[in-house]
Amino acid sequence: MQAKKLVSVVAALGVLAACGANDPKTTGAEQSKAEQGGTLRILNEGQTLNYDPAKSSSLPITSLGFVHRRLTGWLNAEGKQVEVVPDLGDTGKASDGGKTWTFTLKEGQKFSDGTPIRSKDVKWGVERTYAPAFSGGLAYHKQLLVGGADYRGPFEGKSLDSIETPDDKTIIFHLVRPYGDWPWITSTPAFAPVPEGKGAEADYSEHPVASGPYQLSEYQRGVKATLTRNPNWDKGSDQIRGGLPDQIVFQLGQDASVVSQRLVADSGDDKDAFGSSFASPAQLAQLQGNASAKQRLVTSKTGALAYLALNTQKLTNPKVRQAFQYAVDKTSYQIATAGSAQLAGDTATTLITQGIAGREQFDLYPTQPAGDPEKAKQLLAEGGFPNGLENLDFVVSKSNDGPTKAQAIQASLAKANIKVNIRVLDADAYEAETNLAKDAVYDLTLASWQPDFPSANANIQPLFASSEIGNGGYNTSRYSNPEVDKLIEAAQSEVDPAAAGKKWVELDKKILADSPVVPLIYTRNSFLHGSKVANFFIADFPSYPNYLQAGIAK
């Protein structure tokens, strides 16, 4: 119920643009249309902005999309399922049962330096991602392309033969196995073109050759990045980018609470700005008393799955792990996340997130959202721990209010006689310990996962395939089940979406029965924008605003 109310608030932003509201205070932004021209300002917490596609994990609709086009892109709008659509190329044709994919590039596309974009340049861009010096971006394609497992990039003189470019317009990918979601994979940053032979230098991200509506004209680490128009961008061939503002300015290294104060105050240049990080619970509480600012808050309907990962290598008994499903108080987690259930998002019971095609709602461990400590104690006793568990190591990242959320979990586990010690780490150290380390010392950790493309595949494979343990993988529960691995591969190979959907739901249930994670909530994200920023919306997927369509109202 509450969720629905919220959704209508979000939707109202779009409606207001057309119909006009009674409140005189809102006559500025919300009602006017995004127009050509102006400067869009983005207030960014991070010190750096990465415009090297090989190192990027940016969504197709956010900052990287201003500068780089990709082979395919996403078209998303409020109330519509996100679609994979042609960007530089078409959306591909499968042959050989889904093992070979052929794409054709559009006519007349040019880089910002005026040279034509050829299929070779896309190939070069993909090959670059294999170079050890340019790792760190999304890597779904790396193991799937034939020969990718031991390819080390084009700078050592070899090319990847599984990518064929018979002419300047055609590019053919040969995969190791059938893969139905390949057109989604080609919308990841790795499939942005890099002029063949270029991009060998480590600072390519500071002077990339642009294919999108803007080029990076000025970059000062920790201060700002300015994007100006790319004269060679062909608007007619690009259906996913509005390209409305004349200029885009990223202000880097901004303190989150300062950003929020500035956007609430909405004066001067800040009217043309939006914040790129989530509004914190304290900021959201403050907005409740400010009608004008409240109207400029955009909240997603749903979003990333927040979960408590149980290290299955240390908590080996499934009975004990199941006890956590009952012990955790999901309502206190909601409040710790955003102050209210409504702004935090619905409590979660499945691994596949809301809004993903084929998802089925189920609950293997039905209990009230606040948990059932007695049932948890009983399961612990059955698992051989009648006196509960002591001194479990609970590692969390300092960023994104991690410690606050961890304390909520800690307090609820304590009621079921599970005593945990919170260990707070900086984001880098946290990653080293949870994603990179071969052997994990922690017992529990908090994590959150937003699929990189709207398919259950991207919900489940990265978190539960045994190949994703350590080495940068996100299987933080260190879950390894050969049967599940086999089923994941079978589901990935399914080219028919309906049949694939069924297989993923089966996997969802099968994995949760082993209880490697406790699903907490489907996290809503809230963003605040200035009064002149128009057409700023969050569609059903992903739970981030679409940067590429936003514009400035006159």
d(CA 309, CA 321): 10
d(CA 445, CA 212): 39
Place of tokens 């249309």: 33
d(CA 385, CA 371): 19
Stretch that binds other proteins, among 104-112, 349-357, 416-424, 508-516 (CB under 8 A): 416-424
Which of 157, 222, 289, 384 binds other proteins (CB under 8 A)? It is 289
Which of 3, 85, 285, 381 binds other proteins (CB under 8 A)? It is 285
Stretch that binds other proteins, among 90-98, 327-335, 456-464, 481-489 (CB under 8 A): 327-335
* Residue 292 engages other proteins in binding (rule: CB under 8 A): no
Residue number with CB closer to other proteins (331 or 535): 331
- Among candidate residues 280, 228, 231, 221, the one with its CA nearest the CA of residue 251: 221
* Residue 445 engages other proteins in binding (rule: CB under 8 A): no
Judge whether 191 and 89 are in contact, CB under 8 Å: no
Q: Enumerate residues 344-403 that contact other proteins by CB under 8 A.
A: 398, 403
Judge whether 105 and 117 are in contact, CB under 8 Å: yes
* Least distance between other proteins and beta carbon 163 (Å): 44
Burial degree of 333 (CB within 10 A; 0-12, 13-18, 19+): buried
* Residue 94 engages other proteins in binding (rule: CB under 8 A): no
Give SS3 for 26.
helix
* Least distance between other proteins and beta carbon 422 (Å): 6
Count residues near other proteins (CB under 8 A). 33
* Residue 286 engages other proteins in binding (rule: CB under 8 A): yes
* Residue 237 engages other proteins in binding (rule: CB under 8 A): no
- Among candidate residues 526, 529, 450, the one with its CA nearest the CA of residue 278: 526
Both ends of the chain: CA-CA distance in Å? 37
* Least distance between other proteins and beta carbon 178 (Å): 46
Beta-carbon contacts of 162 under 8 Å, excluding residues fewer than 6 positions away, are 145, 146, 147, 148, 173, 174, 175
* Residue 482 engages other proteins in binding (rule: CB under 8 A): no
Burial degree of 178 (CB within 10 A; 0-12, 13-18, 19+): middle
* Residue 335 engages other proteins in binding (rule: CB under 8 A): yes
* Residue 412 engages other proteins in binding (rule: CB under 8 A): yes
**C-alpha pair distances (Å), 458 with each of 59, 207, 316, 374:** 13, 31, 26, 35
* Least distance between other proteins and beta carbon 478 (Å): 20
* Least distance between other proteins and beta carbon 517 (Å): 22
* Least distance between other proteins and beta carbon 518 (Å): 17
* Residue 279 engages other proteins in binding (rule: CB under 8 A): no
* Residue 407 engages other proteins in binding (rule: CB under 8 A): yes
d(CA 64, CA 42): 13
Which of 11, 357, 424, 437 binds other proteins (CB under 8 A)? It is 424
Which of 257, 267, 368, 471 binds other proteins (CB under 8 A)? It is 257
Which of 299, 302, 311, 331 binds other proteins (CB under 8 A)? It is 331
The residues that touch other proteins, with contacts defined as CB under 8 A, are 257, 280-286, 288-289, 329, 331-332, 335-336, 338-341, 398, 403-404, 406-408, 410-412, 414, 422-424, 426
